[in-house]
A and B are shown apart, each in its own frame.
Chain A
C-alpha cells in the first residue's frame, strides 16, 4: 500500500510540476523578471522620468529555468504525495471528484495563505520570513482541516468548527511589514499575484485530476467495492 500511494503521488506530482513549470515560465516569469529590473535598481519607479511598461527581460536563462522546472516538480510531488495519501483514506475517488480535491488543495495551500500574504513579487517589503512561514503553515493546516470537515463532517458542530478554523488565521492576521519600502510598481505586483494564483489553480486542478486517475487505475483502490 505504501509503495502504491508513493508511486501514484510522485507520478501525479511530477507530471503536474512539469506542466506547472511551463505555465509559470510562460505567464509568471516575465512579470518576475520585469520586477527584478526595479528590485536591482536598473529601473526606478516614480523617478524623474516615466519608465516604459514594456521592457526587454533578457535571453532565456537555461540553468535558472531548468532549476525552476526541477523545483516545481519537487513542490508538486510533495503536494501530490499529501493529496494521494488523503485520497487513500476515502477509498475510491473518481477523477471527476479529483477535480474538487484539486480545488480544495488550491484553497488550502495557496488561496487561504494568499488572503493574508499575497504572492510576493521580488523587491517588496515584508515581515520577518520565519514569522510569515509559521503563519503560512498554520493557515494551510487550519484551512485544510476546515475543508475536510466541510466535505466529510456531519452536523453543525463540524461545520461550525470549519468556519472558525477558516476565519481564525485571518482574524489573528498575517505578519505585515513595519513600513512599505517596495521598489516595484503596484501594477506589476498585482499582475504577479493574479498570475501566480491563476497558475496555481490550473496546476492544482490538474494535480487532483491526475492523482485520482492514477490511484483509480490501481486495482487495490478501484477494486475495493467490486471485490466485495
Chain B
C-alpha cells in the first residue's frame, strides 16, 4: 500500500511540473500587471488596491 502510494505520487509529481510552472507564471503575470506595471491608465485604475495590498505604488 505504502509503495503503491509512493509510486502514484511520483508519477503525479512528474506529470504536473509543467502545469504547475505554467499556472505559477500566469499568476505572476496577473500580479505583475495589476500590482507593479507603471503604465498610467493601469496605475490609476489599480491605485487604491495597490496601496491597500502594499505594492510600491508611486
Residues in A lying within 8 Å of B, measured CB to CB: 1-2, 4-6, 9, 21, 24, 28-29, 32, 64-65, 67-68, 70-72, 74-75, 77-86, 88-89, 91, 110, 113-114, 117-122, 126, 129-130, 132-133, 136-137, 192, 196-197, 199-200, 224-225, 227-228
Contacts and interface: CB of A to CB of B under 8 A. Distances in A.
Contact of A24 (B4, B19, B31, B49): B49
Interface in B1-31: 1, 4-5, 7-9, 12-13, 15-16, 18-24, 26-31
A121 B58 contact: no
A9 B57 CA distance: 25
Interface of B: 1, 4-5, 7-9, 12-13, 15-16, 18-24, 26-31, 33-36, 38, 45-46, 48-58
Given A75-B35, A121-B51, 11 more contacts: A4-B19, A32-B48, A78-B30, A83-B27, A89-B13, A110-B53, A117-B56, A120-B56, A122-B57, A126-B56, A224-B9
A205 B21 CA distance: 23
B51 A129 contact: no
Contacts of B46: 67, 71
Given A75-B34, A80-B27, A89-B13, A199 B5 contact: no
B36 A197 contact: no
Contacts of B24: 81-82, 85-86
A89 B20 contact: yes
A71 B32 CA distance: 12
A130 B5 CA distance: 47
B53 A1 contact: no
Contact of B5 (A68, A72, A77, A225): A225
Given A224-B9, A224-B12, A133 B30 contact: no
A119 B34 contact: no
A87 B41 CA distance: 34
Contacts of A228: 1, 4-5, 7-8
Contacts of A77: 27, 30
